Structures are given as C-alpha cells and as structure tokens.
Amino acid sequence: MQVILRSDLPGLGLRGDIVDVADGHARNFLLPKGHAIKASAGAIAQAARMRSSRDAKDHQSREAATAVATTLVPKVITITAKASPEGKLFGSVHAADVAEAIKEQTGIELDRKEIEIDGVKTVGQHSATASLHADVSFPITIEVVAAE
C-alpha cells in the first residue's frame, strides 16, 4: 500500500515522503496513529507541499547552525573549576558546563545534548564538538583554568 508520511519515522522515511508499506503495517499502525495518510491524487500534491516545507525548514536551520559555528569556532571558551596544585580537577567538566559557559560568554544558547565532550579532568586547553544540524558540526575550544 502506498502511504504519505505525516511525520519523520526512523527506518521508513521523512515527512512528506511517499513510501510502499505492507497493508497490515499501514492499517494497524501508521494510519490509526496519524503517522501517515493513504496516497491519492490530492494527497500526493499535499505531500509535495510537505516536502518543500521540510526542505525550507532544513535550509533555514542549516544556515542558523552555520552562523553559530562561524561565531564559536574562533572563540576560546573559558571554564573555571576547582583544581589541585598539580592541575587535576576535583570532578570534571561536562557538556552542561560547556553549554552554560558558552551562554555566559557569548549569549548563544546550546543544548547540552548537542555538545560532545569526554569528561575533562585536567586544567588546560581541550576540545569539544558541537553538532547543531545533520550537516553542521564544529569544534569548540575550551580553556579550563583553576579557581583561586
């Protein structure tokens, strides 16, 4: 059965895609849950509008992510943490700490889930990766300094 997806479904397709699925899958899951509609001539035209809307939103979010990347890549984000005289931190620096420091120092809000960083446990310069869009990921330079 041909259906038009009304929402993004992993492994099946994106909103507005026309896909062939088993009749039972369509009848028992996709149609009752509102994830898809049956493909007809009018619905296919509606699917084209869904795809163009999806592409426009995707383009806009990619441009916004690129703008954030061009702002953050040249900057060094400074994080202050308690440390021993040898430079080992009491605890570690995580993605939430990086997101908070970015907001304080640049005014740009990032979700901690968009930032990948291994637990930093020493004073010095470290790197994190931010993935704001499927096509846009960039490094963030972090300078961890000991609190006085």
Can you tell me the mean pLDDT for 14-27? 92
97 and 43 within one domain: no
How large a percentage of the chain has pLDDT more than 90?
Answer: 74
Per the structure, how many domains does the chain have?
2
141 and 87 within one domain: yes
9 three-class SS:
strand
Residue 84 CA to residue 22 CA, distance in Å, equals 62
Residue 65 CA to residue 104 CA, distance in Å, equals 19
Q: What is the pLDDT of residue 105?
A: 94
| 55 domain residue, yes or no | yes
Residue 26 CA to residue 14 CA, distance in Å, equals 16
28 three-class SS:
helix
Please determine, for residue 131, whether its predicted confidence score (pLDDT) is greater than 90.
yes
12 and 36 within one domain: yes
For 57-92, the pLDDT digits (tens) are 989 999 999 999 999 999 999 999 999 999 999 999
For the purposes of burial, counting CB atoms within 10 Å of the CB of 1, is it exposed (0-12), middle (13-18) or buried (19 or more)? middle
**Mean of pLDDT over the chain:** 92
77 and 132 within one domain: yes
Q: What is the pLDDT of residue 15?
A: 84
Q: What is the pLDDT of residue 44?
A: 86
| 65 domain residue, yes or no | no
Can you tell me the mean pLDDT for 125-145? 93
Tell me 26's DSSP state: I
pTM higher than the cut 0.85:
no
| 66 domain residue, yes or no | no
Tokens in use for 4? Answer: 């038009």
| 68 domain residue, yes or no | no
Range scoring the smallest mean pLDDT among 38-52, 96-110, 117-131: 38-52
Is residue 45 a contact partner of residue 110, using CB atoms and an 8 Å limit? no
